Structure 1
Amino acid sequence: MTTTLPVPIEFSLPAGWLSAPPDEVGASQAAFVALHPGSSAGFTANITISGEVRADDVTLAQLADRAAARLRQDVGEVEVGRRNELESAYTQVLRLTAPVGGRPVELVQLQVFLAMADVRDERRRAVLEIVLSATTGQFEDLVGDFQAFLKTIRPDEGASR
């Protein structure tokens, strides 16, 4: 069953990306999935968005560590690359080999953890996990699209009315 996001957001997909129902593409843990059909040579690059409300003091870096640990449980070895901490965001690049269609495929994930304060309760915050997954060959071509996509994400002010 598809999850929902803890806060309403709005965004724009770059050209060449199409939204897909998470359950239909095997990403039921996600609230949103976008696919890049032009990149499908054995693996379709994708962007997923999931999130949760947190009322604890777990840092975004700790959440990133937990995400890498979950991947290790699912696929085995995960190499953590460059990490970057910003005021309300944390990014990390992961390299892994995952089974796709019964064969191992080398993938790169750029994971972004984005914190949004709860305006009604400052002890709570929503944390979005936004992930680009691509093969090593696709990654260089698509990371610019992903960065452009990230710049469009903002709270959906109209949803609270």
Structure 2
Amino acid sequence: MPGTLPVPLEIELPQGWESAPPDKVGAPHAAFVALHKASQGQGFTPNITVTGHTIEGSPGLHRLAEESVQRLRENVGAVDIVKRTEVGTSSAPGLVDAPGIVQNLRIQAAVNEQPMELAQSQFILVLENEKQRSELVQIEVALTAKTSQLQDVLEDFQDFVAALRPATQT
């Protein structure tokens, strides 16, 4: 059963991407998964995942980023941090007042029992729950691709992140 987001988001997929059931593509904790259609059948399909959960207290962005890296190390394999940068609202205009951090990672993983070097770009942000103002939520948006595929899909990921918006109340 796929994960859920503690706050609803409006998601716009870039052209050439299609949503996929998280539990069917090996991402059972994700609330949303998108696959790059043109890359299917090339040994690894670049994907975008969105996960989220409520957080206790006020953990710093760097701590949240470290926790994400640690989860990857425990579940996937060796992870190297290539770059980590705090970002403001200008990087994600749809998510006004949301502090965030972007980290680029290199991951040594086994895909279909074959060793593979993957690149992952994560955008981690903290939002206040509109329904429960005292509650903070962490949203993690990640692009994962083979290092050789990254340049082909990175701009799409940036467009995806820029278009994310809190869902409007109806």
TM range (shorter): over 0.9
**Gap regions ≥5 residues in structure 2:** 89-98
Does the CA contact (< 8 Å) of 2:78 and 2:109 recur in 1?
A: no
SS at match of 1:113: strand
Quote how far apart the aligned CAs of 1:120 are: 4.5
Map 1:131-146; keep pairs closer than 5 Å.
131-146=142-157
- For the pair 1:117 / 2:128, whether they are aligned, the reply is yes
Aligned to 1:36: 36
Aligned to 1:10: 10
Identity within the alignment, %: 43
SS at match of 1:137: coil
Higher share of residues assigned helix: 1
Aligned to 1:77: 78
Distance 1:150 1:130 in 2: 8
Q: What do the CA deviations read for 1:53-96 (whole angstroms, capped 9, x no partner)?
A: 12311112111101111111123321101111124111101101
Q: What do the CA deviations read for 1:105-138 (whole angstroms, capped 9, x no partner)?
A: 1100001102211234443212110000000111
Once the two structures are overlaid, the 10-residue window that deviates more, 100-109 or 55-64, is 55-64
CA RMSD of aligned residues (A): 1.3
The AA in structure 2 aligned to 1:98 is A
The alignment of Structure 1 onto Structure 2 pairs a total of residues equal to: 159
Distance 1:65 1:146 in 2: 21
Does the CA contact (< 8 Å) of 1:55 and 1:123 recur in 2?
A: no
- For the pair 1:58 / 2:59, whether they are aligned, the reply is yes
Q: 1:75 to 1:118 in 2, by over 3 A?
A: closer
SS at match of 1:130: strand
Aligned to 1:46: 47
Distance 1:111 1:26 in 2: 18
Does the CA contact (< 8 Å) of 2:125 and 2:139 recur in 1?
A: yes
Does the CA contact (< 8 Å) of 2:6 and 2:129 recur in 1?
A: no
Aligned to 1:103: 114
